[in-house]
Amino acid sequence: MGEQSTMKVLAPQAAIPKISRRAMLVGFAVIGASLALSGCSNQKGFAASALPNGELGRQLNVYSWGDYEDPANISDFQDSSDVRVQLDSFGSNEELIAKLAATRGTSGYDVVVPTGLYIPQMVANGLLQPLDHSRIPNMANLDPTYTNQVWDPGNQHSIPKAWGTTGYVYDTTVIKDELSSWQDFLTAAETTASGKTAVLEDAWEVVAIYLAAHNIDMNSMDATALDAAEEYLVGTLAKSIRAFNSNVVTSGIPQGTFALMQSFNGDARQGMLAASDPERWKFVFPTPTANLWMDNWSLATGAQHPDAAYAFINHMMTPEAALREVEYIGYHTGIKDLKEAALADDMELPDLVFPSQEVLDRLKTAVLNDGQERRVEILNRMQAKAGA
Amino acid sequence: MRKFSRRGASVAALSFPTWAYLVFFFIIPVGLVLWYSFGYKPDLFTAHSNSTLSFDRYVEAMDPTFLSTFINTLQIAGLGTLICLLVGIPFAYWMAVKVPSKWRGLLVALVLVPFWTNFLVRTLGWQIVLAPEGFVSDALQNLGILNGPIEILYTRAAVQLGVVYNYLPLMILPLFVSLDRAGVSLREASRDLGANRWRTMFEVTLPLAAPGIISGALLVFIPLMGDYITASVLGGAQGNMVGQLVANQFNSAQNWALGSAMAVMLMVFILLTVVIVGAIYLIIRAILRFNRRVLIEEPAS
Amino acid sequence: MTQNSTLSPIVGNDSLSHDSGSVQIRGVVKRYGTSPAVAGIDLQVRSGEFLSLLGPSGCGKTTLLRMIAGFEEPDEGDILLAGSSVVGVAPNKRPVNTVFQAYALFPHMTVAENVAYGLRQKRTPKAEIAARVSEALELVQMSSFATRNPRMLSGGQQQRVALARAIINRPKVLLLDEPMSALDRKLREEMQLELKVLQRQLGITFIFVTHDQAEAMSMSDRIVVMLDGKIQQVGTAEEIYTNPATSFVAGFIGKQNFISGTLGANGRVETQDGTFVCAGKSEAAAGAPVLAAIRAESIHVHTQEPTIEPNVVAGTMGVVSFLGDVIQYQITTGSGQELLARMTPTHGVLPAAGEKVWLSWAPEHAQIFPNPAPRTGA
């Protein structure tokens, strides 16, 4: 297993050192947090953000997903700017939001990386600052396909950082049939890959497998559709599932633990790159549709190092940084002509990062709606059934 | 009187580290968790609020996932403690009795070696060891011991193995100390008085090791009930543990009220287990005492 | 300790039979690593005898005892109890019991439960156990402590319990491993007496390990003096005192003075302080290096030069110490040899330190041993 995949395995656990640090300080830290919380219920104010003044300063605090930036890009930025980058990681958007909301602008984080669909609510609650585009000249490098998304028209609060889609990867030595759709996924999971199948630990994504396979809108709030999904997922599929784990694909492929894994395209690529026999594995952009998600650079309210933050975001949007980024994390960063640059650089497994236009056209974006609670319930019951 | 109160004050001052530790690291945190468990999560942007108090989180926590995971956890922890005992007792006995005393320090150090590494890293190591394409799997297949790759990773068996590995030292050390303290001369006395090895084991060695067995079992069982790292690294759909659910509520879902309610239920349950185990111990001890009691008639003087 | 008829169950009939409590040790060797702890021992212990194994620590006496008990097996030789070999027999199958050095009472049991332990192993009926426990506790005067925890007892009380726990099993041989070493002197002297009485009463063989010669002499029928895993001498207390076989035995028993010299004719020993007459015989050839051994209590101190004694040496009085019932004088002779003399306080006027004195002793109180160059005195 390569170092990269080890780190990826560690990434979902990135919260652990934080927890233990928190545990070390139990009494005081928890008291502090409770004061902060009681404070926030009384007053809605945020700590003031520092205004850009042209001074880069010497420190920048970035709060991102685990192992989501090429360390070479970080050190490049540090070397060229003399700014020290403190990189912390979170494991879910909820964690990011809760931390920003609880600290009311005193979290110390400058740059954060929320997923698109959470941005409107974060903006409405004042967690993110409007961006000054004049300080990010490299925005000109962005492919217009990825800007001006529904969740943030005009990119007022966010700039594309990376996007990806959900699909699945399978072991061709176990599953001999050619798989191409979500229905194929379900069939294989119930038969040849039963007991060797992993799905994401994400209620929306798991329910979407059933909905997409039955040509139902993945964001459906229709009770009958969700009941049918529950009946199938809990009653039939659950017993075939070996793991509900969003991070298992990077180690699961080289270790050969599973035959069929629902996964994001970039993670699957990392796993296949770490495998000794990548040709054994096949990634599918399944029909008829799948989730298109995008993570974004944003500036947290209360950020104390705005100049360094803008410089950092701008730095990550140079074509060179974008190329490194896509080769490292395996996700398209939204920079123009990135595919051509990557192909010219002989990037490995480019098909997993740059799906065809035909695939792109059929992807849809996940929405947080009133059906979410029901989806969480379905996943919980499924896990209970699988674990019994 | 003044002397007494001054003395009382100095005792209080001397014991400051003890009670300050208890208050700040035990009473306040547990109290806060209890307090939080009566609150709720108002919205996505707030982890917690206590503005209205209710038992709703406890009702919410008792859903099928939690209960089945709870039973899972209980089985893993119970079986894990039992395996640790079965492995730990002979090992500690060997260390305390059979090994020349000059090697004991080294053995204790060796038992502690795993603690030199971070818990998570140790557990991740097992992921590599147990991988179907890993070296152990390859070796077993090459030796003809297995027909196919090891299919243990992300199953309950892997979690069981992981917890035994992670918690075994916590069992061995108190067992070793109690067996060591029981001393070889008491066992020799028992043999001398006509007891064979087994009788000596059950009448002398085990009763004297009982405090070690109890503290070892508690040292393993309690943290194991709350462990979530082993299960999240080695477990899959099966072998989920309640600690993961609590951690998820605090980390990913940021629902501190629900997480606290789960944590409180876990604590209450552990407390109950300790009480039950303690009661069983006292009953067994009482039975043994009853069996060996000697009723001496009053001398007819 | 009172004697009465209810003691009969403990004074078992079998222990009275002629040979049942005999122990024979034949050519026993025990090695730890390369060095022998017991280097070839032959010994006959008679049934009903009180035998002490006496020697300094490391002499092999405890190892020998543990081999009789069965905690160690000999590398060579044989051990017979009542005429049959017990080598390879587990300790719990041997008809012997042990009183351990630190008593080894079970801390999780009461005094009565401790004493009952051996009988319980033999599945003795409960009523009989109760009767025999109460009897055994009475024998060691511990009846009122039956329900106590042994940890709450004093050293002497613990020892009595350990004794009761061993003898209740009616062993053919009782092994005692320095049982008094943890007691203070007064208590030790009391217990020595009691132990002797008890042994007579029970009629069982006692093998008693000690490094204290006074203790061994006060109780034993015979004493075995051991050194470096070998027997130096076997004999009664009197034999060993008056006729030590080696200079080591002579030095180990009582306070001994050794004067080195060469053997002359007719039991004369030529030393730097003159020639002395010794009644003891020596097989050494004339001219051989020898040690003349004279006990401190055999030396008389004079303030004026005596005229009739054959062995007189002049010296200067050094330290005078009161040792309770005796006074010890340290005298330096003209050649620089230091000699100790012990006399009862009633003897007369005490010479002061620095005074010139004369020492004398009778020829029959001096013994001659070959001089083992590395070991020149006790």
Q: What is the pLDDT of residues B206-248, one digit of tens each?
A: 888 888 999 999 999 999 998 988 988 888 888 788 888 888 8
Evaluate whether residue C308 is within a structural domain.
yes
- How high is the pLDDT of residue B5? 63
Q: What is the pLDDT of residues A155-186, one digit of tens each?
A: 999 999 999 999 999 999 999 999 999 999 99
Strands (E), chain A: 59-65, 84-90, 111-112, 159-171, 197-199, 241-244, 260-264, 281-284, 292-299
B117 in contact with chain A, both atoms CB, cutoff 8 A: no
Structural domain that includes position C300: 266-370
Regarding whether C196 and C67 lie in a shared domain, the answer is: yes
* Residue A313, pLDDT above cutoff 70: yes
Regarding whether C172 and C27 lie in a shared domain, the answer is: yes
Q: Which of A40, A125, A384 sits opposite B64 (nearest CB)?
A: A384
* Residue A132, pLDDT above cutoff 80: yes
- The share of chain A scoring above pLDDT 70, in percent, equals 88
* Residue C148, pLDDT above cutoff 60: yes
Question: Which strands, in side-by-side order, build the sheet including C84-85?
Answer: C35-45, C23-32, C76-81, C84-85
Q: What is the mean pLDDT of residues C226-249?
A: 91
- How high is the pLDDT of residue A240? 93
CB atoms within 10 A of CB C82: 19
Q: What is the pLDDT of residues C325-371, one digit of tens each?
A: 888 888 998 888 889 888 887 656 677 788 888 888 888 888 888 88
Q: For chain A, what is the total number of helices (H) and then of strands (E)?
A: 16, 9
Residue B272 burial (CB < 10 Å; 0-12/13-18/19+)? Answer: exposed
User: Higher-confidence residue: A388 or B194?
Assistant: B194
**Cβ within 8 Å, pair A387-B229:** no
Q: What is the pLDDT of residues A214-273, one digit of tens each?
A: 999 999 999 999 999 999 999 999 999 999 888 888 888 888 889 999 999 999 998 999
Whether the CA torsion A218, A220, A225, A226 is positive or negative: it is positive
Domain coordinates in residue numbering, chain A: 13-163+293-355, 165-291+360-387
Q: What is the mean pLDDT of residues B168-191?
A: 90
A256 in contact with chain B, both atoms CB, cutoff 8 A: yes
- How high is the pLDDT of residue C378? 37
Regarding whether C279 and C204 lie in a shared domain, the answer is: no
Which residue has tokens 């026999």? A277
Regarding whether C174 and C132 lie in a shared domain, the answer is: yes
**Cβ within 8 Å, pair A387-B237:** yes
Residue B17 burial (CB < 10 Å; 0-12/13-18/19+)? Answer: exposed
- How high is the pLDDT of residue B299? 52
Listed residue (C49, C105, C42) closest to C76, CA to CA:
C42
* Residue C31, pLDDT above cutoff 80: yes
Mutual orientation of helices B242-250 and A15-24 as an angle, nearest 10°?
A: 90
| CA count, 13 A, side-chain hemisphere, C125 | 3
A372 in contact with chain B, both atoms CB, cutoff 8 A: no
Q: Which residues contact B140 (CB under 8 A, 6 or more apart)?
A: B146, B150
- The share of chain A scoring above pLDDT 90, in percent, equals 56
Q: Considering only alpha carbons, which residue of chain B is nearest residue A127?
A: B45
Contact criterion met (CB below 8 Å) for C234 and C44:
no
Q: Considering only alpha carbons, which residue of chain A is nearest residue B230?
A: A13
Looking at the structure of chain C, the number of domains it has is: 2
Nearest 5°: CA angle at C101, between B292 and C51? 110
Regarding whether C271 and C226 lie in a shared domain, the answer is: no
- How high is the pLDDT of residue A6? 30
Q: What is the pLDDT of residues C289-303, one digit of tens each?
A: 888 888 888 888 888
- How high is the pLDDT of residue C311? 86
Chain B residue numbers with beta carbons less than 8 Å from the beta carbon of C73 are none
- How high is the pLDDT of residue A15? 29
Regarding whether C156 and C75 lie in a shared domain, the answer is: yes
Evaluate whether residue C320 is within a structural domain.
yes
Query: Smallest CA–CA separation between B300 and chain C, in Å?
Result: 12
- How high is the pLDDT of residue A225? 94
B49 in contact with chain A, both atoms CB, cutoff 8 A: yes
Q: What is the pLDDT of residues A270-312, one digit of tens each?
A: 899 988 888 899 999 998 999 999 999 999 999 999 999 999 9
Regarding whether C210 and C110 lie in a shared domain, the answer is: yes
Cis ω before A288 (30° cut-off from 0) = yes
Regarding whether C196 and C104 lie in a shared domain, the answer is: yes
- How high is the pLDDT of residue A44? 57
Are β-strands C289-295 and C256-263 bridged in parallel, bridged antiparallel, or unpaired?
antiparallel
Q: What is the largest CA-CA distance in chain B?
A: 86
Q: What is the pLDDT of residues C89-109, one digit of tens each?
A: 999 999 999 999 889 999 999
B25 in contact with chain A, both atoms CB, cutoff 8 A: yes
* Residue A50, pLDDT above cutoff 50: yes
- DSSP-assigned letter for residue A187: H
Chain B residue numbers with beta carbons less than 8 Å from the beta carbon of A27 are 23-25, 28-29
Regarding whether C294 and C210 lie in a shared domain, the answer is: no
B292 in contact with chain C, both atoms CB, cutoff 8 A: yes
Query: Smallest CA–CA separation between C114 and chain B, in Å?
Result: 10
Strands (E), chain C: 23-32, 35-45, 50-54, 76-81, 84-85, 96-99, 173-177, 205-210, 222-227, 230-235, 256-263, 268-271, 274-277, 289-295, 300-302, 311-322, 327-333, 338-343, 356-361, 366-370
Evaluate whether residue C259 is within a structural domain.
no
Evaluate whether residue C189 is within a structural domain.
yes
Regarding whether C270 and C237 lie in a shared domain, the answer is: no
Query: Smallest CA–CA separation between A26 and chain B, in Å?
Result: 6
**Which tokens belong to B159?**
């979690």
**Which tokens belong to A228?**
């049918």
ipTM of the complex as predicted: 0.79
- How far is residue C360's CA from residue C354's CA, in Å, rounded to a whole number? 18
Regarding whether C345 and C277 lie in a shared domain, the answer is: yes
Are β-strands A241-244 and A197-199 bridged in parallel, bridged antiparallel, or unpaired?
parallel
* Residue C9, pLDDT above cutoff 50: no
* Residue A1, pLDDT above cutoff 60: no
User: Higher-confidence residue: B181 or C139?
Assistant: C139
Regarding whether C59 and C103 lie in a shared domain, the answer is: yes
- How high is the pLDDT of residue A19? 27
Place A316 in a pLDDT band, splitting at 50, 70 and 90. Answer: very high
Ordered by where they begin, the domains of chain B are: 64-288 (1.10.3720.10)
Q: What is the pLDDT of residues B72-123, one digit of tens each?
A: 899 999 999 999 999 999 999 899 888 888 898 899 999 988 888 888 888 9
* Residue A52, pLDDT above cutoff 90: no
Q: Considering only alpha carbons, which residue of chain C is nearest residue B295?
A: C130
- How far is residue A287's CA from residue A218's CA, in Å, rounded to a whole number? 12
Evaluate whether residue C237 is within a structural domain.
yes
**Cβ within 8 Å, pair B199-C121:** yes
B294 in contact with chain C, both atoms CB, cutoff 8 A: yes
- How high is the pLDDT of residue C266? 74
Place A30 in a pLDDT band, splitting at 50, 70 and 90. Answer: very low
The CATH code of domain A13-163+293-355 reads: 3.40.190.10
Q: What's the CATH code of the domain at C219? A: 3.40.50.300
Domain end, chosen from C183, C209, C242, is at C242
Topology annotation, domain A165-291+360-387: D-Maltodextrin-Binding Protein; domain 2 (3.40.190)
